[in-house]
Amino acid sequence: EVQLLESGGGLVQPGGSLRLSCAASGFTLGSYWMHWVRQAPGKGLEWVANINQDGSQKYFLDSVKGRFTISRDNAKNSVYLQMNSLTAEDTAVYYCGRAVGGAESYWGQGTLVTVSS
Amino acid sequence: QSVLTQPPSASGTPGQRVTISCSGSNSNIGSNPVNWFQQLPGTAPKLLIYNYNQRPSGVPDRFSGSKSGTSASLAISGLRSEDEAGYYCAAWDDSLNAYVFGTGTEVTVL
């Protein structure tokens, strides 16, 4: 069974950092592009970043460029999102997604990040 | 600000057909496959349609997708109460080098 389990969310002060993790199981992580997508409270979906199968290609939402980095460790079946210089506008549920733009799209249940003093 | 525009809401009675539009541009819908996602209240999004009009296994054939130029549409026929959810279109944008979601449409079954 395919599973994606996000962790690492929580309450952080403005300007702080968090590292989100996504643990994958039930499929070969190294065969897929992986994505992070977020949803602010009461708002729509917003794509944040993605990374290709071997980590050599990465793309980011303009508003997080220079603050967020995405990485993966296929041997550990994990994908990561390092978030720095967080602001209130980054408050959202963050979803890890497999092949979001394709036929084998699959999403985790999300982890909540709250940026507040 | 999303580059894919959807109506904020749509509604119908059980059994009716509801159509949701998604308006984009040449750099996204005009040149890349469109996916549609369903998000039931309090849950993660789920793939409903991929590559404009393909259904993953397990998705009822009541759901169908289409594309015309720089716009895409999702149709729900034989509307059921369990179809009450948020629906989002999405596509890669070649100009932004980013994946973009539509503004989202809330479907209500009256």
A72-99 pLDDT per residue, tens: 999 999 999 999 999 999 999 999 999 9
Q: What is the pLDDT of residues B20-51, one digit of tens each?
A: 999 999 999 999 999 999 999 889 999 999 99
Q: Chain A to chain B, count of Cβ pairs less than 8 Å apart? A: 64
pLDDT above 90 for B2: no
Q: Which of B47, B54, B93, B96 best probes binding to A when mutated, by most A CB atoms within 10 angstroms?
A: B47
Q: What is the pLDDT of residue B1?
A: 57
Q: Are A45 and A67 in contact (CB under 8 A)?
A: no
Residues of chain B found within 8 Å of residue A6, distances taken between Cβ atoms: none
Q: What is the pLDDT of residue A100?
A: 83
Q: What is the pLDDT of residue A102?
A: 83
Q: Which of A100, A109, A111 best probes binding to B when mutated, by most B CB atoms within 10 angstroms?
A: A100
Q: What percent of chain B has pLDDT over 70?
A: 99
State the nearest Cα–Cα gap between A14 and chain B, in angstroms: 23
Nearest CB among B35, B88, B92 relative to A44 is that of B88
Q: What is the pLDDT of residue B54?
A: 94
Q: What is the pLDDT of residues A15-54, one digit of tens each?
A: 999 999 999 999 999 999 999 999 999 999 999 999 999 9
Residue B39 tokens, joined:
């998000």
Map tokens 């950092």 to a residue: A17
Tell me which chain A residue has its CA closest to the CA of residue B88: A45
pLDDT above 90 for A101: no
Q: What is the pLDDT of residue B75?
A: 98
How distant, in Å, are the alpha carbons of A21, B21, B53, B92 from that of A90? Answer: 16, 28, 33, 22
